Amino acid sequence: MNILCIGAGYVGGPTMAVIADQCPDHRVTVVDINTSRIAAWNSDSLPIYEPGLAEVVARCRNRNLFYSTDIPRGIREADIIFVSVNTPTKMFGAGAGKAADLQYLEKTARSIIEYAESDKIVVEKSTLPVRTAQALSRVLHSNAKGLHFQIVSNPEFLAEGSAIRDLKNPDRVLIGGLETSQGRQAVDAVAGIYRRWVPEEKIITTGLWSSELTKLVANALLAQRVSSVNSISALCEKTGANINEVTRVAGLDSRIGAKFLKAGVGFGGSCFKKDILNLVYLCEFYGLPEVAAYWEQVVRINDYQAERFVRNMLAAMFNTLAGKKIALFGFAFKRDTGDTRESPAIAVTRQLHAEHAEIAICDPKALDNAKLDLADLAEGVTYTADPYTAARGAHAIAIITDWDEFRDLDYAQIYDAMNKPAFIFDGRGLVDAGRLHEIGFNVYPLGCPALTHF
Ligand code: UDX
Ligand code: ADP
């Protein structure tokens, strides 16, 4: 089978690499309008960092995995087309700031009808508002060639940093289609790809609308857990309770479960905020303002958490950060990725900058993206991959990303090279607060009592 994926981003790139790896007899092509991105996929320096990805690509590239900018040829030759173009939050017109911007999806549909010469299965891989398949189908069937397209929804649940593991061993694969015989055939064709390596009981088929909505809901529920825990971390700091103890014990209840209860400086990533805002917009659109307000609060608490983090720093450091050097440990939105989209590090840096702090940003993989995110902050921000350099002469360290590297540093050496009193604000519950306190730091672990020397 000829499989095409339109969109060579964080979703399309790794997903197609794993499909090619698991199905050596299928030919998988990934196309994109972004020529430099395709060139990077064809080079030794892939456009995204993801553990294990380089090995999979090296095994399959130019065997049965091809990255190309020849979109017309890709469409002509494909039996199945996965669409994984970006669907960012719309920033203009009706629904600005909440609704999904579907212009890239529609352009893709129009390319498909321009170049297709035979019937095709079109698979929605990007996260989309519920009922987008209907609009997609209408655009595709406006073709004058009499071609027929079956739309299937196959949302991707991979998390960045563990994408290859998630793709090889998913909790579930969801495939939604229309309840017609052609719809069922299309679902079965897509399921056949995954059956090569995913156990049958993990391949779940549903109706098209349920599949589209499930992706939004799964992300909303995960983000809601994080915001719930983060809201309680604020109460812990006021009362002397310890958020890690609270969530560990609460999570032992099998109905609650232990995962996704880690308090932090806030969730980031390309999905959570965008998908919740998309859900909020849909609820407002369908006349459900109470439901919309309920979910919107998840995003508000997330913004509040990053603001609160900086306010706590300011209060602890004698209400002034002007001229003080702050080492930011981590800029990626989570560990094991170079992605900084919606990273809380962006809001934290901007607030620190507004306080006239000198910020030294340190991250093993995300510095290039950080520089793009902060391009407008010419003064007062420096970048280094070395945490010892970042912390030299600093008044405080703020841990924003849970990279393992930051846990195992020689903090005694770091302390010696810092300005005193030295502060560490652990926004991820990463380091051993007691040990750092013994070294001499004033330690502020998020959601826990502070350990100070005052
Ligand atoms: C998420 C979903 O997990 C994935 O299923 C979906 O396909 C895309 O969106 P991703 O954004 O890549 O994946 O990462 P995820 O591991 O979910 O983390 C999102 C954010 O939440 C990160 O900033 C992370 O640091 C934060 N987080 C996560 C917490 O603060 N606490 C937790 O307990 C878990
Ligand atoms: P995601 O995280 O969902 O994968 P990305 O932004 O990383 O999103 O990737 C989406 C990719 O889709 C980008 O590389 C972009 O250039 C590509 N893209 C957008 N519109 C089109 C289009 N009409 N044809 C081909 N590729 C497109």
Cα angle, residue 62 at apex, residues 58 and 67 outer, rounded to 5°: 90
By C-alpha distance, which of 236, 150, 231, 258 is closest to 444? 236
CA 174 – CA 218 distance, rounded (Å) = 12
What would the pLDDT profile of 306-356 be if each residue is shown by its tens digit?
999 999 999 999 999 999 999 999 999 999 999 999 999 999 999 999 999
CA 330 – CA 335 distance, rounded (Å) = 8
Q: With 90 as the cut, is the pLDDT of residue 129 above it?
A: no
Q: Which residues contact 255 (CB under 8 A, 6 or more apart)?
A: none
Q: How many CB atoms lie within 10 A of CB 274?
A: 23
Cross-strand bridge partners of residue 362 = 329, 384
Region 64-71 average pLDDT:
98
By C-alpha distance, which of 139, 128, 122, 49 is closest to 88? 128
% of the chain beyond a pLDDT of 90:
96
203 within ligand 1 shell (Cβ under 6 A): no
Ligand 2 is surrounded, with C-beta below 6 A, by: 6-12, 32-34, 37, 84-86, 104, 107-108, 126, 270
Q: Whose CA is nearest to atom 9 of ligand 2?
A: 9
Indicate the range of 3-17, 123-137, 394-408 predicted with least confidence: 123-137
Q: Which residues contact 238 (CB under 8 A, 6 or more apart)?
A: none
Question: Are the beta carbons of 157 and 171 closer than 8 angstroms?
Answer: yes
| Per-residue pLDDT, 52 | 97
CA 85 – CA 76 distance, rounded (Å) = 18
Question: Are the beta carbons of 89 and 272 closer than 8 angstroms?
Answer: no
Q: Whose CA is nearest to atom 5 of ligand 1?
A: 157
* Phi and psi angles of residue 168, each rounded to the nearest 5 degrees, phi first: -75, -30
| Per-residue pLDDT, 54 | 97
Q: Which amino acid is at 249?
A: V
Whose atoms come closest to the Cα of 126: which ligand? Answer: 2
What would the pLDDT profile of 364-384 be if each residue is shown by its tens digit?
999 999 999 999 997 999 999
| Per-residue pLDDT, 128 | 85
Query: Could you say which DSSP state residue 147 is in?
Result: -
Ligand 2 atom showing the smallest separation from residue 34 Cα: 16
Q: What burial letters (b/e) apply to 217-247, b meaning 16+ CB within 10 Å?
A: ebbbebbbbbbbbbbbbbebbeeebbbbebb
Gap between the terminal Cα atoms of the chain? 69
Q: With 90 as the cut, is the pLDDT of residue 389 above it?
A: yes
| Per-residue pLDDT, 422 | 98
Q: Confirm whether 283 is a catalytic residue.
A: no
What would the pLDDT profile of 131-145 be if each residue is shown by its tens digit?
888 999 999 999 999
Tell me how far the alpha carbon of residue 449 is from its chain's centroid: 30
What would the pLDDT profile of 184-205 be if each residue is shown by its tens digit?
999 999 999 999 999 999 999 9
| Per-residue pLDDT, 197 | 98
| Per-residue pLDDT, 126 | 86
By C-alpha distance, which of 137, 192, 158 is closest to 26? 192
104 within ligand 1 shell (Cβ under 6 A): no
How many whole angstroms from 4 Cα to the centroid of ligand 2? Answer: 14
* Phi and psi angles of residue 180, each rounded to the nearest 5 degrees, phi first: -125, 165
DSSP character string of 395-435: SEEEE-S--HHHHTS-HHHHHHTS-SS-EEEETTS-S-HHH
What would the pLDDT profile of 420-437 be if each residue is shown by its tens digit?
999 999 999 999 999 999
Q: Which residue of the set 60, 271, 283, 362 is catalytic? A: 271
pLDDT band at 68, cuts 50/70/90?
very high
Region 392-406 average pLDDT:
98
Mean pLDDT of the chain, nearest integer: 97
What would the pLDDT profile of 280-318 be if each residue is shown by its tens digit?
999 999 999 999 999 999 999 999 999 999 999 999 999
How many whole angstroms from 122 Cα to the centroid of ligand 2? Answer: 16
| Per-residue pLDDT, 222 | 98
How many whole angstroms from 298 Cα to the centroid of ligand 2? Answer: 27
* Best mutation site among 37, 38, 75, 85 for ligand 2 pocket (most ligand atoms within 8 Å of CB): 85
Cross-strand bridge partners of residue 398 = 328, 425
pLDDT band at 158, cuts 50/70/90?
very high
